[in-house]
Amino acid sequence: MELAIETMGGEGDGVAAGPIFVPFTLPGERVRVQGRGDRRELLEVLAASRERVEPPCPHFFACGGCALQHWAQAPYLAWKADRLRTTLARQHIETQILTPYATGPGTRRRVTLHARRGSRDAARLGYKARKSWDLVDIAVCPISEPAIQAAIPALKRLAAPLFEHPKSAPSLHVTLSDTGLDIDITGVEAKSGGLSGDARMQLAERAAEADFARVTLAGEVAYMARSPQVRLGPAVVSLPPGAFLQATRDAEAAMAEFVAGAAAGASRIADLYCGVGTFTFRLAEVAPVHAADFAAEAVQALTAALAGAPGLKGVTAEARDLVRRPVLAEELKKTDVAVFDPPRAGAAEQTAELARSQVARVIGVSCNPATFARDARTLIDAGFRLERVLPVDQFLWSPHIELVGVFQR
Domain assignments of the chain as residue spans, ordered by start: 2-52, 78-104+245-408, 110-229
Question: 51, exposed or middle or buried, with CB in 10 Å at 0-12, 13-18, 19+?
Answer: middle
Angle value at C-alpha 79, between 74 and 82, nearest 5 degrees: 125
- The mean pLDDT value of the chain amounts to 96
Active site residue 367: yes
For the chain, the 3-state helix, strand and coil shares in percent, each to the nearest 5, are 25, 30, 45
pLDDT interval class at 6 (50, 70, 90): very high
- Cis bond leading into 19, ω under 30°? yes
Is 137 annotated in some ligand binding site?
A: no
What Å distances lie between residue 261 and 279, 314, 394, CA to CA? 11, 18, 20
Note the pLDDT of residue 370.
Answer: 96
Mean pLDDT computed over 252-257: 97
Query: Does 273 show up as a binding residue in the annotation?
Result: yes
How do residues 14-35 score in pLDDT, each as one tens digit? 999 989 999 999 999 999 999 9
Instruction: Please check whether the domain covering 2-52 is classified as CATH 2.40.50.140.
Output: yes
Q: Is the pLDDT of residue 211 over 90?
A: yes
**Quick check: 346 and 366 in contact, CB under 8 A?**
yes
CA 184 to chain centre: 16
pLDDT score, position 130: 82
Choose which CATH entry (2.60.40.3080, 3.40.50.300, 1.20.140.10, 2.40.50.1070) describes domain 110-229.
2.40.50.1070
244: three-class secondary structure by DSSP:
coil
Residue 127, annotated as binding a ligand: no
pLDDT at 395 over 90: yes
* CATH top class, domain 78-104+245-408: alpha beta
Is 246 annotated in a binding site? The answer is yes
Instruction: Considering the candidates 63, 141, 274, 367, report the single residue annotated as catalytic.
Output: 367
Q: First-to-last CA distance in the chain?
A: 54
Count of other CB atoms within 10 angstroms of residue 164? 15
Given this model, what pLDDT does residue 112 score?
96
Q: Give 56-68 pLDDT, tens digit per residue.
A: 999 999 999 999 9
